[in-house]
Amino acid sequence: MERFQNTSLPDWDWWGKLWPTPGETLRELGLSTGDTVVEIGCGNGYFALPAARIVAPAPVYAVDLDDRLLAELEHLADQQRIDNVATVRGDARELSAHVSDPVDVALFANAFHGVDDRDEFLTEVESVLADDGRFVVVNWRPLPRSETTVAGEPRGPPTELRLGPEETAAIVEDATGLAVTAEIDIPPYHYALVFERRA
Ligand SMILES: C[S@@+](CC[C@H](N)C(=O)[O-])C[C@H]1O[C@@H](n2cnc3c(N)ncnc32)[C@H](O)[C@@H]1O
């Protein structure tokens, strides 16, 4: 298993400054009670844990290839008495091997810029979505890295790897039967796209 390019987990302290209310963000992206969710590349659960609170009692499958981050996520889930999150150690390139039931939402936050074989990855994502499922991509806007500062430091992936919403939409739509149904601005530096199956 190999990590996608430039997808190390940010430090929780500056990540928390950038995303002070992850639950509110997830609700803006359309998450609601009863949605079954897979978070692809969940890290230590910065989004997976609030997602689990929102969708409970439906499950959140939290997929990552990093054992240490998944252990941290499990510890936080215990502390916060969240019991509807299931960690899955695996490579996102083989998502369908790790998620057996179709999901309402596949969330992919802050990592699409690093995916090597996009067609292969997107085919896997599409295959785990329920018929009316949504693929939600959150990512950094294609601003110069020197301009995306948090706590006084430039943050996020290198400028040359960043993909804007139009480029991301075209990549996903060309590779799958999904189409953009919503674009959401997440100030100061992010956007989200919601994809659903074409009618
Ligand atoms: C930048 S972090 C984002 C974490 C979380 N989504 C967030 O936004 O807070 C990217 C995560 O993707 C994971 N990752 C990278 N490549 C992966 C792969 N091929 N399969 C599964 N997880 C992967 C990394 O271990 C890391 O935890």
**Residue 6 confidence class, pLDDT cut points 50, 70, 90:** confident
The answer as to whether 2 is a domain residue is: no
The answer as to whether 175 is a domain residue is: yes
Is residue 9 in contact with ligand 1, taking CB distance under 6 Å?
yes
The answer as to whether 122 is a domain residue is: yes
Residue 52 has pLDDT above 80, yes or no: yes
Number of structural domains, the chain?
1
Question: Could you report the per-residue pLDDT of 100-118, keeping only the tens digit for each?
Answer: 899 999 999 999 999 999 9
Is residue 110 in contact with ligand 1, taking CB distance under 6 Å?
yes
Residue 9 has pLDDT above 90, yes or no: no
**pLDDT value, residue 101:** 92
Q: How far apart are CA 29 and CA 75, in angstroms?
A: 26
SS3 of residue 130 by DSSP = strand
Q: Which of 2, 3, 12, 115 to mutate to test the pocket of ligand 1 (most atoms within 8 A of CB)?
A: 3
Whether this prediction's pTM lies above 0.85 is answered by: yes
Q: How many A from CA of 41 to the centre of ligand 1?
A: 3
The answer as to whether 7 is a domain residue is: no
The answer as to whether 1 is a domain residue is: no
**pLDDT value, residue 35:** 98
**Residue 8 confidence class, pLDDT cut points 50, 70, 90:** confident
Average pLDDT, the chain: 96
The answer as to whether 131 is a domain residue is: yes
**pLDDT value, residue 199:** 82
Provide, rounded to the nearest whole percent, the portion of the chain with pLDDT above 90.
93
Range(s) of the domain holding residue 83: 12-197
Q: Name every residue whose Cβ is closer than 8 Å to that of residue 21 and which is 6 or more positions away in sequence.
A: none
Is residue 112 in contact with ligand 1, taking CB distance under 6 Å?
no
> Which residue's CA is minimally distant from atom 17 of ligand 1?
3
The answer as to whether 149 is a domain residue is: yes
Question: Could you report the per-residue pLDDT of 120-161, keeping only the tens digit for each?
Answer: 999 999 999 999 999 999 999 999 999 999 999 999 999 999
- CATH code of the domain in which 157 resides: 3.40.50.150
Establish how many alpha carbons lie within 13 A of residue 119's alpha carbon, considering only the half-sphere containing its beta carbon. Answer: 2
3-state DSSP helix/strand/coil % of the chain, to nearest 5: 35, 25, 35
The answer as to whether 96 is a domain residue is: yes
**pLDDT value, residue 13:** 87
